[in-house]
Amino acid sequence: MPSRDYHEELWAAVPEGAVGPGLQVRRGFLLGLLSPGMRVLDVGCGEGILAGELRRAGADVLAVDVAEEPLRRARLREPGLDARLIDGEGTWDLPDAHFDLLWAGEVIEHVADTAKWLSEARRVLRPRGTLALSTPDNGPLTLVALALSPRARAERLDPRSDHLRFYTRASLAGLIGEFGFEAVRVSAVGGVPGARRTLLASATRSRF
């Protein structure tokens, strides 16, 4: 499993203020699920860009990540943000059935123990709480783009990449449904062949 040092080294190589692709799409999707006063857990908060947006929209936000470097940046960007370190591959030091919404933007593809991660996500969500996440799409349009572009294919399949999992709409929906979530919805957004596409998923934690 990836170690703490591994994650710290990855973040040390990321320039401060770097914004990943599709930020505005993810922002719109996330804020569309939000109601003021919600208790929100931002898993893999990075530099806290969306955690800040959630706070300004009236949410009670806890931001967590698996390395101290992104948390340091998040605290500088968003003074007063509750930002904590968690074990990304183990049990999270967080209460059961506490959060109304769990958001994980561009995180699940980096997780080695996906079963443990989804079990923890379900545990900390209240019954009927919402799981929301985004991850790169590996559906037909993406595969066409990779087939046509050796450079894109080499980048996507680079064995040194920190992307450990590759999801399609069907595989992501099926996975989420296996871990006690209902009303699973997964959509693919963005570009045409040659452009990066994103999967946006939401689901409701079952009562039992």
Q: Per the structure, how many domains does the chain have?
A: 1
Residue 1 predicted with pLDDT over 60: no
- Amino acid 191: pLDDT: 65
Q: Which domain holds residue 110?
A: 4-205
Mean per-residue pLDDT over the chain, rounded = 91
Interval 22-58: pLDDT, tens = 899 999 999 999 999 999 999 999 999 999 999 999 9
Alpha-carbon distance of 87 to 135, in angstroms, equals: 20
In this prediction, residue 180 has a pLDDT band, given cuts at 50, 70 and 90, of: very high
The rounded distance, in Å, linking the Cα atoms of 25 and 30 is: 9
- Which tens digits make up the pLDDT trace of 84-118? 999 988 899 999 999 999 999 999 999 999 999 99
- Beta-bridge partners for 104: 133
- Going by C-alpha positions, the residue among 42, 52, 46 that lies closest to residue 79 is 52
Q: Which residues of 41-74 are buried (b: 16+ CB within 10 A; e: fewer)?
A: bbbbbbbbbbbbbbbeeebebbbbbbbebbbebb
Specify which residues 181 forms β-bridges with.
205
* Helix 4-12 vs helix 68-77: crossing angle, to nearest 10: 50
CATH number at 76 reads 3.40.50.150
Alpha helices in the chain (DSSP H): 4-12, 23-31, 49-56, 68-77, 114-124, 140-148, 150-156, 169-177
> Of all residues in the chain, what percent carry a pLDDT higher than 90?
72
Which two three-digit tokens encode residue 40? 């929100």
